[in-house]
Amino acid sequence: MARRMLIAGNWKMNGLRQSLGFLEEIRPAAHSRRNVDVLLAPPATLIVSAAEIAGPVKIGGQDCHIHPSGAHTGDISAEMLRDAGASYVIVGHSERRADHGESSELVRAKAEAAQAAGLVPMICVGESESDRREGKAEAVVGEQLHQSLPGSTAYVIAYEPVWAIGTGLTASLDDIAAMHAFIRSKLPDGATTQILYGGSVKPANAADILSLNDVDGALVGGASLKAADFGAIIEAAP
């Protein structure tokens, strides 16, 4: 089965209700690309409103708790995200791993909670600049995969080299191709699993990145905040 392209936008801690006009602006691009899935992960405060007007755009959460409910002030469960209109959730983003000390074991538990709630987890992996400089990129990413993957293969992988997130730096096409091939070789259902690239993806480099054999889409950060840029990335998908 051919893998579909998935272009996902992660708004991170950005966006107010007035920002939702973005969805109306990108709907034409999402409508026109029948072979490309488009996903937006706004902050949790906007999921319900976004889902109501999303049209062909899928909506996702940016994180979830490992439990479906309970005394966890400030947390959001996968069930709550699903109830709000989400169909995906990002887990293990490098900013969660760094800012909140999330381990790969916790990421796996979140992915399992997401699947139990009927969400598709987007599991993020990626090495630091020092890891790559020291030749440990594959070892680090391989260990993250080993510890983060749930038993069920109903997930998406996002490879995001930590040093390329929000820095303007992008891994070379050869490096991206090599890491995506490596990741695919480590997955139990690698032939059909979508693997996205994230790390300063923008209109200027999207076409080249998305043309690589083992790249099945992009997880877009800063460029997903501008409808024109995100639309151009959607249009760049082969």
Number of C-beta neighbours around residue 191 at 10 A:
8
Please indicate whether residue 65 is annotated as part of the active site: no
5, 238 Cβ separation under 8 angstroms: yes
Active site residue 93: yes
Angle between the N-to-C axes of helices 227-236 and 203-210, in degrees from 0 to 180, rounded to the nearest 10: 20
Q: Choose, from 95, 102, 112, 160, the residue flagged as catalytic.
A: 160
Q: What are φ and ψ of residue 231, in 5° steps?
A: -60, -40
Q: How far apart are CA 157 and CA 142, in angstroms?
A: 12
The identity of residue 186, as a single letter, is K
- Which is the catalytic residue, given 65, 93, 102, 127? 93
Alpha carbon of residue 126 to chain centroid: 12
Which positions are catalytic?
93, 160
